[in-house]
């Protein structure tokens, strides 16, 4: 399918969205022009606010979001996103009620996350989910861009049944963040029960028992859950993505990974071969520094004996544009941090990967961004949702992802499967994800 976009706009932002549409619509080409010339393409899209040319198939209004230095009215964006209308059919022709191209760029580029004052961030410097336009419009749990794409594809199949439209189907992307590899293994009895004493004070008797059983040789380490995670990923016809926290400095409590260089973790990691895709979990405060990320990346490459090209930020600590620039400079080509730490959903309005656009430099980058839809800690720690409520939310998110042919990317920490620290009842949420996916 060849698409020509008739428009007066000349902008790298438009070029970015044309590439995005080409990929999402399965088109052979999507090019911009000021007029039609040569052989008529399969689809003529007019992007602008004047009367469209006579041969136009699809008309999209221009909201100005693709112009450099565009002043964004948040209330207007929320109103546009909240519109119940999208495709307005007029016989064989069609127009959209909103500028889905400009709004799509706004969401994908994370325009709203730039230039935030410190008072508008949380204690770790993160953009808060409740400040997002998707939260304001009630769409954070809806992959709105994917919905637009699906409606366009459905319309095209209706009016151009002869066209070959290559749209991918639903997929699962399981992942695990290993903040601490083992709870007990590699630790002395004294160190182990130092941690166990903290559990005892919280009333977590099962955790203390697990530690004791390990030391007398009758149980595996409580955090040793990779076999389960890998097996379940393979059930879903996927591979497990594991992001390993291996900081070069352990001066901050949040960055103490438990990886002791004197303990043979290399053997434990190498035994998985290609059943696990290893990625870097950069330390919490590395998100502004390519130097720190590169040091940790090289350190991990020595451990796993393979190049590391993917990452997910510890605590999902993203700061635009610094974090993504630092990752690119450190040789990372794909990042899996695009999710809010406190709420599951679709931070960029989509479940499918896309390339990051650097707004300040006005350029398309080589960094591929993989959205994260669901994280275990979000429901337990931040939403205070119980297992039943969490399963209901998972079901909704998976259904939204499935009906829009998206990718349900979920994160479950190995430590969460231990049952320690109040996680015992949440095991059924993890199992629900696997069972639900197998039925889709």
- Judge whether 213 lies within some domain: no
- Judge whether 302 lies within some domain: yes
Q: Which tokens in the block code for residue 210? A: 């697990």
User: Same structural domain for residues 304 and 339?
Assistant: yes
- Spatial separation of the C-alpha atoms in residues 416 and 435, rounded to whole Å: 18
Q: Over the range 378-406, which residues count as b (16 or more CB within 10 Å of their CB) and which as e?
A: bbbeeeebebeebbebbeebbebbbebbb
**DSSP symbol at 378:** I
Q: Which helix (H) or strand (E) holds 408?
A: strand 407-411
Q: Residues 28-37: contacts with CB within 8 Å, 24+ apart?
A: 28/1, 28/2, 29/2, 29/3, 30/3, 30/4, 30/5, 31/3, 31/4, 31/5, 32/4, 32/5, 32/6, 32/7, 33/4, 33/5, 33/6, 33/7, 34/6, 34/7, 34/8, 35/6, 36/4, 36/6
Q: Residues 156-160: contacts with CB within 8 Å, 24+ apart?
A: 156/1, 156/25, 156/43, 159/57, 159/92, 159/94, 160/1, 160/42, 160/43
User: Same structural domain for residues 238 and 143?
Assistant: no
- Each of the 440 residues of the chain gets a pLDDT tens digit; together they read 899 999 999 999 999 999 999 999 999 999 999 988 878 899 999 999 999 998 899 999 999 999 988 889 999 999 999 998 999 988 778 999 999 999 999 999 999 999 888 888 999 999 999 999 999 999 999 999 999 999 999 999 998 888 888 778 999 999 999 998 888 876 655 455 545 445 544 555 555 666 566 555 546 888 999 999 999 999 999 999 999 998 877 666 677 765 655 566 888 899 999 999 999 999 988 999 999 999 999 999 999 999 999 999 999 999 999 999 999 999 999 999 999 999 999 999 999 999 999 999 999 999 999 999 999 999 999 999 999 999 999 999 999 999 999 999 999 999 999 998 899 999 999 999 999 999 99
- Judge whether 233 lies within some domain: yes
User: Same structural domain for residues 248 and 386?
Assistant: yes
- 383 and 426 in contact (C-beta within 8 Å)? no
Domain extent, residue 100, equals 2-108+139-159
User: Same structural domain for residues 104 and 177?
Assistant: no
Q: CB under 8 Å to 76, separation ≥6 — which residues?
A: 63
- 153 and 165 in contact (C-beta within 8 Å)? yes
User: Same structural domain for residues 289 and 390?
Assistant: yes
pLDDT digit string, tens, across residues 183-236: 887 665 545 554 544 554 455 555 566 656 655 554 688 899 999 999 999 999
From the number of C-beta atoms within 10 Å of its C-beta (0-12, 13-18, 19+), residue 124 rates as middle
Angstrom CA distances, 341 to 61, 95, 258, 380, stand at 34, 37, 22, 11
pLDDT digit string, tens, across residues 139-166: 999 999 999 999 999 999 998 888 888 7
Give the total number of structural domains in the chain. 2
**DSSP symbol at 126:** P
Q: Which tokens in the block code for residue 440? A: 């889709």
- Spatial separation of the C-alpha atoms in residues 27 and 29, rounded to whole Å: 5
Residue 360 sits in a domain whose CATH number is: 3.20.20.370
Three-state DSSP class for residue 211 = helix
pLDDT digit string, tens, across residues 326-363: 999 999 999 999 999 999 999 999 999 999 999 999 99
User: Same structural domain for residues 435 and 348?
Assistant: yes
- 378 and 415 in contact (C-beta within 8 Å)? no
| Of the candidates 299, 284, 301, 288, the residue with the CA atom closest to the CA atom of residue 250 | 284
Q: Which tokens in the block code for residue 166? A: 């290559």
| Of the candidates 295, 280, 373, the residue with the CA atom closest to the CA atom of residue 334 | 280
User: Same structural domain for residues 154 and 48?
Assistant: yes
């Amino acid at each position: 399918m060849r698409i020509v976009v008739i428009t007066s706009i000349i902008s790298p932002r438009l070029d970015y969205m044309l590439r995005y549409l080409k990929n999402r619509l399965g088109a052979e080409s999507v090019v911009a022009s000021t007029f039609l010339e040569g052989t008529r393409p399969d689809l003529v899209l007019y992007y602008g606010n004047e009367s469209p040319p006579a041969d136009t198939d699809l008309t999209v209004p221009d909201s100005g979001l693709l112009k450099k230095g565009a002043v964004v009215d948040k209330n207007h964006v929320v109103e546009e996103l909240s519109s119940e209308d999208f495709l307005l059919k007029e016989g064989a022709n069609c127009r959209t009620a909103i500028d889905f191209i400009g709004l799509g760029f706004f969401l994908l580029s994370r325009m709203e996350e730039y230039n935030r004052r410190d008072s508008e961030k949380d204690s770790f410097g993160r953009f808060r989910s409740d400040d997002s336009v998707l939260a304001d419009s009630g769409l954070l749990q809806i992959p709105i861009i994917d919905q637009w794409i699906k409606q366009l594809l459905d319309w095209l199949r209706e009016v151009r049944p002869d066209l070959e439209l290559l749209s991918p189907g639903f997929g699962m992307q399981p992942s695990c963040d290993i903040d601490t590899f083992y709870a007990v293994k590699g630790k002395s009895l004294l160190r182990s029960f130092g941690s166990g004493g903290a559990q005892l004070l919280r009333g977590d008797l099962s955790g203390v028992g697990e530690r004791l059983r390990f030391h007398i040789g009758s149980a595996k380490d409580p955090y040793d859950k990779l076999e389960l995670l890998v097996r379940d990923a393979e059930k879903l016809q996927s591979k497990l993505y594991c992001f390993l926290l291996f900081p070069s400095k352990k001066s901050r409590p949040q960055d103490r990974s438990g990886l002791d260089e004197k303990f043979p973790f290399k053997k434990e990691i190498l035994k998985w071969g290609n059943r696990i895709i290893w990625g870097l979990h950069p330390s919490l405060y590395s998100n502004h520094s390519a130097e720190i990320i590169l040091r940790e990346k090289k350190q991990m490459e020595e451990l796993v004996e393979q190049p590391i090209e993917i990452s997910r930020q510890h605590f999902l600590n993203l700061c635009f544009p610094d974090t993504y620039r630092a990752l690119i400079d450190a040789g990372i080509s794909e990042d899996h941090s695009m999710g809010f730490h406190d709420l599951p959903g679709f931070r960029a309005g989509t479940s499918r990967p896309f390339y990051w656009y650097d707004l300040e430099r006005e350029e398309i980058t080589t960094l591929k961004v993989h959205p994260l839809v669901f994280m275990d800690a979000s429901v337990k720690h931040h939403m205070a949702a119980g297992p039943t409520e969490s399963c209901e939310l998972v079901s909704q998110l998976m259904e939204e992802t499935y009906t829009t042919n998206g990718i349900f990317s979920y994160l479950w920490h190995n430590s969460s499967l231990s049952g320690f620290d109040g996680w015992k009842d949440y095991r059924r949420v993890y199992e629900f994800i696997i069972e639900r996916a197998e039925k889709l």
